[in-house]
Amino acid sequence: MTTKEYLYTDESNLPRELAHGVVREPPAPFYSHQQLVLNIARLLAAYVELHQCGHVGIAPLDVVLDAARALVVQPDVLFIAAERGSIIRNQIWGAPDLVVEVLSPGSAAHDRGEKLDWYREYGVRECWLVDPGGPHITVFDFTSSTRTTSVVTPADPLRSMVIPGFVVPAAILLP
């Protein structure tokens, strides 16, 4: 399937992605997953709105990383800096500055592997993999030539490298 065919199919609230022409439709997430996504999105949106520093979105929202290669993803939560707001149309056309993926048993391997590689390759600057079973958050900083990774536990502060001044106790995001 091409990117154009994918984008012009019937609108759906189901999670789905287009990976090099193949549609992937995982099952709907569990309630606990969605509660965590909602908590993270609320926290980010409140901060971003207060400081007028960008835009926050939640899945299902298509992010076209590579139209020519038919690569469209739906991160659980995303942030786009204000100065890059032009990539927001009916979909997001380009890499968000920050993506957040809440891991679940059915998606963890994909999120930690191929999807994380796509985020790095296509210009996402920061990625959080939230592992409620850990509980911990793995933060990937892709802003330098070497990939920097840190693990944040409930006892630690969670800082964003791409949202100016954003620091919260990780415990408020982890179960």
Q: Are 147 and 141 in contact (CB under 8 A)?
A: yes
pLDDT at 146 over 80: no
| Domains in the chain with CATH codes | 29-60+74-85+95-172 (3.90.1570.10)
Q: Is 168 exposed, middle or buried (0-12, 13-18, 19+ CB in 10 A)?
A: middle
Q: What percent of the chain has pLDDT over 70?
A: 100
d(CA 103, CA 137): 10
What's the pLDDT score for residue 10? 86
Q: DSSP string of 40-96?
A: HHHHHHHHHHHHT-EEEEESS--EEEETTTTEEE--SEEEEEGGGGGGBSSSEES--
Q: What is the pTM of this model?
A: 0.95
Longest distance between any two alpha carbons in the chain, whole Å = 46
Q: Please report which confidence band the pLDDT of residue 19 belongs to, taking 50, 70 and 90 as the band edges.
A: very high
Tell me: the pLDDT tens digits for 59-106?
A: 999 999 999 999 999 999 999 999 999 999 999 999 999 999 999 988
pLDDT at 145 over 90: no
What's the pLDDT score for residue 11? 84
| Nearest partner of 69 among 18, 124, 11, judged by Cα | 18
Q: Is 54 left (phi over 0), alpha (psi -120 to 50) or beta?
A: left
Non-local CB neighbours of 174 within 8 Å, separated by 6+ positions? 130, 132, 134, 135, 136, 137, 154
What's the pLDDT score for residue 107? 87
Tell me: the pLDDT tens digits for 96-118?
A: 999 999 999 888 999 999 999 99
Q: Is 157 helix (H, G, I), strand (E, B) or coil?
A: strand
Q: What is the sign, positive or negative, of the torsion defined by CA atoms of 28, 109, 58, 168?
A: positive
